[in-house]
Copies of this chain bind each other. A is one copy, B any other.
Amino acid sequence: MAQPEPRDEVEMLSSMLLIRRFEERASQQYQAQKIGGFCHLYIGQEAVVCGAVAAARADDYLITAYRDHAHALARGTSANACMAELFGKATGCSRGLGGSMHYFDRERHMYGGHAIVAAHVPLAVGMAFASKYREEDRVTLCFFGDGAINQGSFHEALNLAALYKLPVVFICENNLFAMGTSVERSTSLKQIVDRAEGYDIPGTIIDGMNFREVRDKLSEIISSIRADPHPAFAEVRTYRYRGHSMSDPASYRTKEQLEKYRLDDPITRLRAQLTREEKLTNEQFDRLDKEAKEVALASVKFAEESPEPPLDKLYDYTYSQPVGQWPPQ
C-alpha cells in the first residue's frame, strides 16, 4: 500500500518524543511520590505503538495491557489527561479512578489499560467479533507482552479468533522479559511467533526498534484483514530501558544488553532516517523535542492543579444506572 506522507513520519516522531518525555516526567513525579500504585514505563518501545497507530485507522479498536501510557498518548489522548490520571485527579483520562494501569479513552477508541496479564486478549476478540457482527471494516489492535502468551486466556482467545475468522491483530511486544523472567525461561519455543502456528494464524516477526518496519509490516497485515477478516499475529521485538515497574532495579539483565538496545534507539533511528533523507533538520528536531518537553512539564502543572474526584461520587461508578436498595444504608 502507499507509503504515508513524510509529514506523518515527523508527526509520529514527535509522538514518540512526547511519550518519552512524558514518561521521564512521570518517573520523576513517581519518585517525588506524587503518583501511587504501580507505574510501568514504556521508554524504549515507542516505535511499536507509534508504528501500529500510523498503520491503523483512527477508528480501529485498540486495547493493551498495563504498560499503557504510550498507547493512549499515541492515539491522541492529551498529556494532561494522562498525567492527571497518574495523579489520580478528576481530569484524568479515567477520572483518577483507574491509575497508571487503567487508561481509557472511549472517544479515541482506546479500550484500556488492563492489569491482569492476558485477560484483555479475549476482550479484543470480542471487540473484533462486534465489528464483524455489524459488518464494519474495523480492525482491532491487541497489544500484550511476551509474558502474556502463557496464560490460558491468551490461548482461548486466539483459538476463538481463528475459528470465527475475526479481524484482530495480536501484537506481542516482546521486550525479552516478563518482570525478571526472560522469554527462554517462560516459553517453550525458540521464537514466540511460532505459537501462532498452533492456531493456524499467520505470524510475522517485526523489528520493534524500527518505526518504519513496524508501520509498513502492520499496514500490510491490517489491509489484508480489512479486505478479508481474519486474525494475524505479530511478534514485535523491542526492549524496555527501565525496570519492569518503578520499584524494579532490573538487576536480572546486563548493562551490555541495555547499551546494545540504546544504540538502536527508535527515536534516534527515525530521526537519522529523516535527516538522511533531508526531511528533518537538526533545528526542527530540537524544536520538536523542546515542544515535547514543554508539553510534558505542563502536564505536571495541570495534574497538580486539577481537582480530586469528589468523595460524594464514591458510589456513582459501580453501576451505570440507579439500583434499587443499593448502596445499603
Contacts and interface: CB of A to CB of B under 8 A. Distances in A.
A194 B198 contact: yes
Interface string A38-50: 0000000000000
A174 to B, nearest CB: 16
A185 B160 CA distance: 10
A324 B185 CA distance: 42
A162 B187 CA distance: 8
A152 B163 contact: no
A163 B187 CA distance: 6
Interface string A159-175: 10011000000000000
Contact of A152 (B151, B188, B198, B201): B151
Most chain B CB within a 10 A radius of its CB, from A151, A155, A197: A155
Interface in A229-285: none
A201 B198 CA distance: 11
Interface in A138-190: 150-156, 158-159, 162-163, 185-190
Contacts of A151: 152, 156
Contacts of A201: 188
Contacts of A195: 198-199
Contacts of A154: 152, 155
Nearest to A153: B152
Nearest to A188: B162
A99 to B, nearest CB: 27
A68 to B, nearest CB: 23
A33 to B, nearest CB: 37
Contacts of A196: 198
Contacts of A189: 198-200
Contacts of A190: 200
Given A189-B200, A197-B194, A200-B188, A159 B150 contact: yes
A163 to B, nearest CB: 5
A199 to B, nearest CB: 5
Nearest to A198: B198
A94 to B, nearest CB: 28
Q: Shortest 8 CB-CB distances between A and B: which pairs?
A: A152-B152, A198-B198, A162-B188, A155-B155, A163-B188, A195-B198, A188-B199, A197-B197
Given A155-B156, A189-B199, 17 more contacts: A150-B155, A150-B156, A151-B152, A151-B156, A152-B153, A152-B154, A152-B155, A154-B155, A159-B187, A162-B188, A188-B201, A189-B198, A190-B200, A194-B198, A194-B200, A195-B199, A196-B198
16 contacts: A150-B159, A152-B152, A152-B154, A152-B155, A155-B155, A155-B156, A158-B188, A162-B188, A163-B185, A163-B188, A188-B199, A189-B200, A190-B200, A194-B198, A195-B199, A198-B199
